Structure 1
Amino acid sequence: MVRAFAPIIERNSGGSILNILSVLSWFSIGGAGAYTAAKSAEWGLTNVLRLNLAARNIRVAGLHVGYMDTDMTAKISAPKANPADIAKIAIDGIEADSYEILADDLSRKVQKDLAGGVAVLYPELFQDTTKKELHQNGDL
């Protein structure tokens, strides 16, 4: 998609590309291994595109969001963001020339926690009983 649109954006004096990522680009939960891997790879691609397209006056932003009220999350009982609110946050981020747009409190918290490493992101790994439970459940 980017290969197709980048020349058009460049011919029109530059612009922005927004990649829709997830808080799971940075953090994983049990049962979401494949999704986390895909979103982490997409975040890596977003970073490469930023570097490769900057000289062509194309800004590449990544939108990180937790649960959003969509068909995909319909069966999840956690609090979810309204897609219209996320769209406004995304547009505001693009207008502010942001590289990372953090759409919700969860995304802001996880980004902050990245600096704390594994101990902060996954404190359950440092509790003996939880390690055993995770291993028994096949999550480790």
Structure 2
Amino acid sequence: MGQATYNFPVTSETLEEAWADTDIRGDTALEAAYIAAARRLVERGVIALGSNCEFWIRHQAAVAATMREPVAVCSLLLVPTLLRELLNSAKLAVATAESKPLRRRSAGIGDPADRERLVAGGTEVNCSGKMR
């Protein structure tokens, strides 16, 4: 997500504490950092919040609950909608850095039959942040 991607100003912030080893593992301590970052961005004039990391999905509800601005932290939010658009026999493939957490959490899909339709594959980053 860079300035050249959109036809309007983009403001970004990097969370120094959100490395692959903490984010992929699901460190709950990051939630407060994500909320604080969202608030700082709004203070800088941001009117909508997004992210380019699929592991933010686990913080979507908490961040959205604290903000008045729209929050859509990752494209995985589209998975339930995309599954509804596909034939019931079709599967949806998701490429990710680490597929195991995604398979366990099933991208917010409540229906067990729909969870079976999600196929996740990853580059499988280990907890040191290095690719295997």
- Shared fold (TM-score, shorter chain, > 0.5): no
Q: Which has the higher helix share?
A: 1
Structure number with bigger Rg: 1
Query: With structure 2 as the length reference, what TM-score do the two structures score?
Result: 0.32
Q: Normalization by structure 1: what TM-score? A: 0.31
